A and B are shown apart, each in its own frame.
Chain A
Amino acid sequence: MNTSCYVVRSNAIAARALGDETMVMSATNSTLFTLNEVATTIWEAADGVTPLDEIITNKICAQYEVEQDAALKDAQALIEELAVHGLVLVSDAPIAKAGRASKASA
């Protein structure tokens, strides 16, 4: 996965913040995920127009004591898992609201 990739939350999900965590449910296969505090921060910042490495720099490294490379590696693993289950869409280019499905891959 390109570290400057763009990530956006899928429309085919239901999500709810509960305390510091977020529950995300796939609306297509009903799989439930619980995101911890850091994953929740990435999830909330995944707007499709901010590159992943920028999210890590500005939202994670700025708030938590973690090295950029380590944080980025963890974030990539998280995004890959979420993408496998169709919870986020990933693209090498910014993902416009219209045409998300055609430009990005789950």
Chain B
Amino acid sequence: MSSVTAVARDSSVVVEIGGLPIRLRCDDPAFLLQIHERYAGYVSSSHEASFEFDLELAPAGTESGDEDLSVTCRDGIWLMERGDFRAEFNPATARGCIEQTINPFSLDSVIRIVHTLLLAKKGGFLVHASSAIRNGRAFLFSGVSGAGKTTMARLAPPDAALLTDEISYVTRKNGRYMAIGTPFFGELARVGENIEAPIEAIYLLAKGPQNIIEPIEGTAAVRGLMENILFFAKDPEFVKHVFDSACEFAAHVPVRRLTFVPTSSVWELIV
């Protein structure tokens, strides 16, 4: 049986990122195939899922422009809205629904938001950072657009396994902070490897005339993290969780400033 036929029969696909299997149900086999291709390496072979979303596709061209993202919580149900999608998620029932046009990147946004909501209570987060595993340890390179996340990924030596060049997945397991690969990519346009490793350090990126690593501690470390952690919801309880997560992370994982020249020699410092 071809994968296309399998998708069409099943009407759903389970995408597992960070060990959280999410089933996406959709009546459109062509879009399900797009999801399969978009999340290659993250489509679960198991039929089991922890969360389920029903996708309803609107005709292309029905997006409402550049409407800002809004993520709100009412009576325990999260509502996510932007010009190109509207989604609801009820963590208590582990179910949700997504209305969007046929655009995998709209789905990408919803999945990222759902993961930030789920991670927050567990002390984890998504962060604007590229990341790679080397010698069994994960290194994160964080910064705003243009800081050098993709550059660090491109310059990585052959023995480094790339987890992402755009958005890193940080979770806490048995008291250790782990980085896990994600399908969320930036300019590299390459899905990260679906593997994980304990985090050795996070580097806040800055470009400069020479390669320098400086420790960042205390409030400066937390502030640097908070500037790069993804959190969309304005809900007070959620904000507190994210803040606590950043403080805990900074207390356990070295936060450093990496000023670098964009050549492969920078990786000689990453040990």
Q: Taking beta carbons and an 8 Å cutoff, which residues of A are in contact with B? A: 12, 14, 16, 18-19, 21, 23, 25-30, 32, 34
Contact = CB atoms under 8 A, between A and B. Distances in A.
B240 interface: yes
B236 A18 contact: no
B234 interface: yes
A17 B234 CA distance: 23
Contacts of B243: 14, 16, 23, 25
9 nearest CB pairs, A to B: A27-B236, A14-B243, A14-B240, A27-B239, A16-B247, A18-B218, A34-B219, A25-B243, A23-B219
Nearest to A29: B234
B148 to A, nearest CB: 24
Taking chain B's interface residues, is the majority helix, strand, or loop, or is none over half, making it mixed? helix
Contacts, number: 42
Contacts of B237: 27
Interface of B: 218-219, 222-223, 226, 231, 234, 236-237, 239-240, 243-244, 247
Contacts of A27: 236-237, 239-240
A67 B239 CA distance: 38
A103 to B, nearest CB: 20
A16 B234 CA distance: 19
A76 B247 CA distance: 28
B244 A30 contact: no
